[in-house]
Amino acid sequence: MVDLHVTLSGVRLDNPIIPASGTFGYGYEFAELYDINCLGTFSFKGTTRAPRFGNPTPRIAEAPSGLLNAVGLQNPGVDKVIAQELPKLKEVFHKPVMANVSGFSVEDYAYTCALLDKEEQVGWLEVNISCPNVHSGGMSFGTSPQAAAEVTRAVKAVTKKPVYMKLSPNVTDIAAIARACEDAGADGISLINTLLGMRLDLRSRRPLLANTTGGLSGPAVFPVAVRMVYQVYEAVDIPVIGMGGVSTAEDVLELMLAGATAVEVGAANLVNPFACRDILAALPEAMEKYGINSLSEIIGGAHHG
């Protein structure tokens, strides 16, 4: 019998499978399809201080082995998330959940995190300093070690729960930014968010996305994710949550060998709403195939042979 459990900042997860923010709503939408309590946890839709309609449409464009999105953090704002979304979530999900937070200033991040930190069902705060689809804020905080550290310090000053900083791959030195977050008090690192890309319509000769550019996700980015998780694991002593193009149980094992304690699944949920359930179901057979008895024992295994 294989052992799927992992521990994330002191919280035991039944397994490392986590649907990624922005691909799983607030959970109850998927609970209509299957019992989402089979998951380790999930990261709910990116939440901001004020409500956001998001970017103009079209927001989605297909790409080889993936897709581009420029949704722009559409959400009802933190007050409505707490008052309306979390009570509905609690009815269908009976484990600690990961709260994903975005902002446009350091004060925004601190304000939103302070409110969500008080919610009983929130187990971790995943602070997104890596969104490429909003103007001002978002990714700008994740491309500078100094700015990343500033947000980390501000959030840690007003929270008690573990804080995971979600980093952008659109940088030259991911390890330096991860170290800056760790030095500023982060409890963990999440990576990678989407890669900045664009597509053109040959007929109109204009960008396919109204936002011009968007974030590339899907299997195309998986090798980048493996490389960056590997680098960050070597650079820090705090846990890493890996993500980026994960679509199979084998992908989960590969990211864990690179250094991930848990693994988020994103774009695959948009292609197949049962993706996380199916990946989880395939994990035991994949572990047996490669002689793995316990997932917690392979974390970072590629670093020591």
Could you tell me the pLDDT band of residue 8, with boundaries at 50, 70 and 90?
Answer: very high
Question: Would you say residue 277 lies in a domain?
Answer: yes
pLDDT tens string 183-211:
999 999 999 999 999 999 999 999 999 99
pLDDT higher than threshold 60 for residue 135: no
pTM score: 0.96
Q: Which of 116, 117, 113, 189 is nearest to 148 (CA)?
A: 189
Question: Would you say residue 269 lies in a domain?
Answer: yes
- Residue percentage of the chain with pLDDT more than 70: 96
Instruction: Please give the positions annotated as active site.
Output: 131
Question: Would you say residue 228 lies in a domain?
Answer: yes
Q: Could you list the residue range(s) of the whole structural domain that residue 17 is in?
A: 6-303
Instruction: Indicate which CATH number applies to the domain containing 210.
Output: 3.20.20.70
pLDDT tens string 84-98:
999 999 999 999 999
pLDDT tens string 37-77:
999 999 999 999 999 998 999 999 999 999 999 998 899 99
pLDDT higher than threshold 80 for residue 168: yes
Chain position carrying tokens 């927001």: 59
For 8, 72, 85, 194, 266, the CA distances from 269, given in Å and listed in that order, are 22, 18, 20, 15, 6
Report the number of distinct structural domains present in the chain. Answer: 1
Average the pLDDT over each of 135-144, 163-172, 216-225, 283-292 and give the range with the smallest value: 135-144
pLDDT tens string 247-277:
999 999 999 999 999 999 999 999 999 999 9
Question: Would you say residue 1 lies in a domain?
Answer: no
pLDDT higher than threshold 70 for residue 124: yes
- Cα separation of the two ends of the chain: 24
Could you tell me the pLDDT band of residue 131, with boundaries at 50, 70 and 90?
Answer: low
pLDDT tens string 227-253:
999 999 999 999 999 999 999 999 999
Question: Would you say residue 169 lies in a domain?
Answer: yes
The chain-wide mean pLDDT, for the chain, equals: 95
